[in-house]
Amino acid sequence: MSGANEGGAVRVYVLNGPNLGRLGTRQVDVYGVTSYADLVTLCVDTGRELGLDVVVRQTDAEHELLGWLHQAADEQAAVVLNPAAWSHYSIAVRDACAMLRGPLVEVHISNIHAREEFRHHSVVSAVATGVICGLGVDGYRLALRHLATVLGATG
């Protein structure tokens, strides 16, 4: 598996879709009080502990997320993806995920299966290596731990 950076750490992209930049202020009863900045710190620190080079990004623009997924595919990098609302209807995001050559873990902060019916299905899940939902921001930590094991990172 490629995806290692110049320092030898394995590159993992943590990509977040629309509205996740509003963590900590948006529907705290559903998404919790952890801010987006705190989520970034959690992911980068967890990655460092596990021997991963974690790059965290968030966008509200679908075309930008597609570009990042294409980059990850070209680099054969692993991806932790919270596609947010795009989970439920974006065939473009799903198709970009299908091009990935590294493992993909889909993460949702809330339990999408316990919410409104339109959130119960994710078009991304069928092409993901695994899915974590409903565990809050700890789902990101678990996804990174899984990827470190699969990729043989040394942390």
- CATH number for the domain harbouring residue 57: 3.40.50.9100
Catalytic choice (13, 108, 140, 146): 108
Q: Residue 108 catalytic?
A: yes
Stated as kind and residue range, the H or E segment containing 146 is helix 138-151
Does residue 107 sit within a domain?
yes
Q: Answer left, alpha or beta for residue 32, where phi above 0 means left and psi between -120 and 50 means alpha.
A: left
Classify residue 1: in a domain, yes or no. Answer: no
Cβ partners under 8 Å of residue 49, min gap 6: 155
Which one from 31, 36, 140, 146 is the annotated catalytic residue?
A: 31
pLDDT for position 1: 45
Give domain status of residue 79, yes or no.
yes
47 burial via Cβ count (<10 Å: 0-12, 13-18, 19+): buried
| Residue 120 confidence class, pLDDT cut points 50, 70, 90 | low
In a domain, 5, yes or no: no
**pLDDT tens track for 1-55:** 445 555 678 999 999 999 999 877 776 666 566 899 999 999 999 999 999 999 9
Mean pLDDT estimate for the chain:
90
Question: Which residue segment(s) compose the domain that 26 sits in?
Answer: 10-151
**33 HSE (CA, 13 A, CB side):** 0
Domains of the chain: total: 1
In a domain, 3, yes or no: no
Among the listed residues 66, 59, 80, the one whose alpha carbon sits nearest the alpha carbon of residue 13: 80
Residue 141 has pLDDT above 90, yes or no: yes
2 located within any domain: no
pTM metric for this prediction: 0.89
Q: Per the annotation, where are the binding residues?
A: 82, 88, 95, 109-110, 119
For the cut 50, the answer to whether the pLDDT of residue 66 exceeds it is yes
In a domain, 119, yes or no: yes
- Detail the residues annotated as belonging to a binding site for substrate: 82, 88, 95, 109-110, 119
**Within a domain: 76:** yes
Range 78-107 average pLDDT = 96
